[in-house]
Amino acid sequence: MSLFRSLLRPNYAQKLSLLATLPLVVAVAAIAVLVAYQSRTLAEREIQSLESQLLEAKLAELRNYVTQARNGFSHIYGRAAPDDEAAKTQVKQILSAMIYGQDGFFFVYDYDGNNLVSPRQTEFINRNWEGLTDSSGTPVVDEFISLARQGAGWHSFRWEKPSTGEEAQMVAYVVGLQDWRWAVGTGVFIDDVLAKVAASRAEVEARVRRTFVYIGAIALVALLVVFGSGMVLNIRERRLADVKLKALTQRVFDAQEEERGRVARELHDGISQILVGVRYALDNTRRKLGRGDLEGATTPLDKGIDNLGTAISEVRRISRDLRPGVLDDLGLGPALKALTDDFAERTGIETSFSTVVFRNRLDQESKIALYRIAQEALTNIERHANASRVEIDLRGHSKGARMRITDNGTGLPQQQGQTGSGLGLRNMQERLEQLDGSLRILSSRGPQSGTMIEANLPLSHLLAPGDEAAPQQVP
């Protein structure tokens, strides 16, 4: 049952195998049918030609027999009168002696249907056979007489072979002796011709069947090769996918651990220290209040309040870094503006942000991706670039959206800049690949050092004019 369900619902590998093998099966079947048709047609044409040649040879042989027989008694028939019984008897004796082969003989019928000569079947002699037909209903004697009246002709019918007593197909040639009103002829059995034709047809059928077997074997081998290749490729690709998935999972875990470490460090080095200072100020204030020193308690209390305000600001900054609310509320433009302003205030690096108005038309995934890319880029600049100036430009164009981040720092190492091998750069690349976008990195070191990171998103991630989330003036 599960196998039946799997056949009805094939997986990706099975669909790929079907897609590869189905055209091959159809092509092989079409080739097999075409080859069989062409073979049968050509063979039938050859068989018909062979049959025609054999029959023509038989007919020519019959004509020669009758001609020779007539030449043998023409000196008698030519001088005899229509009622010369002696001449007729002499001719009948000559024809009765003309037997050949196992079944060959001459026969004579008068125009009234009476048999006069039949040396191999003497029971026919001196009997009237008018209206005689063969087993299939074909007239025999009446046709002989009709051909004789016309002068001469061939007739085919079924007749009993004298040598075997079995019925077979016979072809006879008959001439007419008009003065004596005789139909004289002889016939040959063509069962050997028919047997040769039947054997030829059987050989053709056997050849066609062999051709089908050969084509089927070749198709089976081809299918096995395709199936085996597909299985090998599928297993190989699955292994590669597993390796990539494991590497990606490890990178996700590394990124998570790095982010947790960063948040832990900020909480420990920033908020934790500030809160320790607040507690110390509050303890100092309580001791002074306990001694009744109201004026001395004011100073540590004010300092504790200031430190508490700083802690609240740090909590807000960390929260904004984890998930900026302005990105959901106002859009990508204000979120990037807030990010750059905070970066400039925190690091002292001259930072500028510019954009153009194309309304809030980026979809949510694209906004998050571009914001995280900008966030990652600014983090890298702060840690490694030693830059004094950063520029961020965001704009839409006819092919989609583009964000460009440039700095005048020391630049990336050459290999890292070309391959994007760093974890942060790989994260940027993977975010854009999921959105069918592209990442371009240009970096130089030396007197004109600096780095340019350009993220491009296709037009498919810009919403239609009537579908934008909110009519903001910045993207």
Backbone CA torsion sign across 315, 321, 325, 330: positive
How far is 423 from 190, CA to CA, in rounded Å? 93
Tokens in use for 154?
A: 């061939």
Name the 3-class secondary structure at 114.
Answer: strand
Residue 344 DSSP label? H
User: Which amino acid is present at 182?
Assistant: W
| pLDDT tens sequence across 300-347 | 777 778 878 877 877 777 776 666 666 767 778 888 888 888 889 888
Return the CATH number of the domain spanning residue range 82-189.
Answer: 3.30.450.20
The strand pairing partners of 115, in sequence order, are: 109
* From 40-54, 172-186, 391-405, 429-443, the region with the lowest mean pLDDT: 40-54
Flag whether pLDDT at 258 surpasses 80: no
% of the chain beyond a pLDDT of 90: 17
**Overall average pLDDT of the 433-439 stretch:** 86
| pLDDT tens sequence across 130-164 | 999 998 899 999 999 999 999 999 899 999 888 88
% of the chain beyond a pLDDT of 70: 86
What pLDDT does residue 320 have? 66
**Overall average pLDDT of the 156-178 stretch:** 89
Flag whether pLDDT at 5 surpasses 60: no
* Residue in 429, 368, 380 with CA at minimum distance from that of residue 406: 380
**Overall average pLDDT of the 402-413 stretch:** 86
| pLDDT tens sequence across 276-305 | 777 877 888 888 777 877 777 777 777 778
* Residue in 380, 371, 326, 312 with CA at minimum distance from that of residue 349: 380
Q: What are phi and psi of 190, to 5 degrees?
A: -110, 25
How far is 373 from 435, CA to CA, in rounded Å? 13
**Overall average pLDDT of the 363-386 stretch:** 85
Supply the DSSP string of 38-79, one letter for each residue: HHHHHHHHHHHHHHHHHHHHHHHHHHHHHHHHHHHHHHHHTT
- With a CB cutoff of 8 Å and minimum separation 6, the contacts of 243 are none
How far is 283 from 290, CA to CA, in rounded Å? 11
At the fourth CATH level, the homologous superfamily of domain 330-461 is: Histidine kinase-like ATPase, C-terminal domain (3.30.565.10)
Report the mean per-residue pLDDT for the chain: 80
H or E, element range at 457: strand 450-458
Are the C-beta atoms of 59 and 155 separated by less than 8 Å? no
* Residue in 116, 109, 99 with CA at minimum distance from that of residue 132: 109
For the chain, the domains span 82-189, 330-461
Residue with the larger pLDDT of the pair 204 and 339: 339
What pLDDT does residue 143 have? 93
User: Which amino acid is present at 48?
Assistant: Q
What pLDDT does residue 170 have? 87
**Overall average pLDDT of the 68-75 stretch:** 87
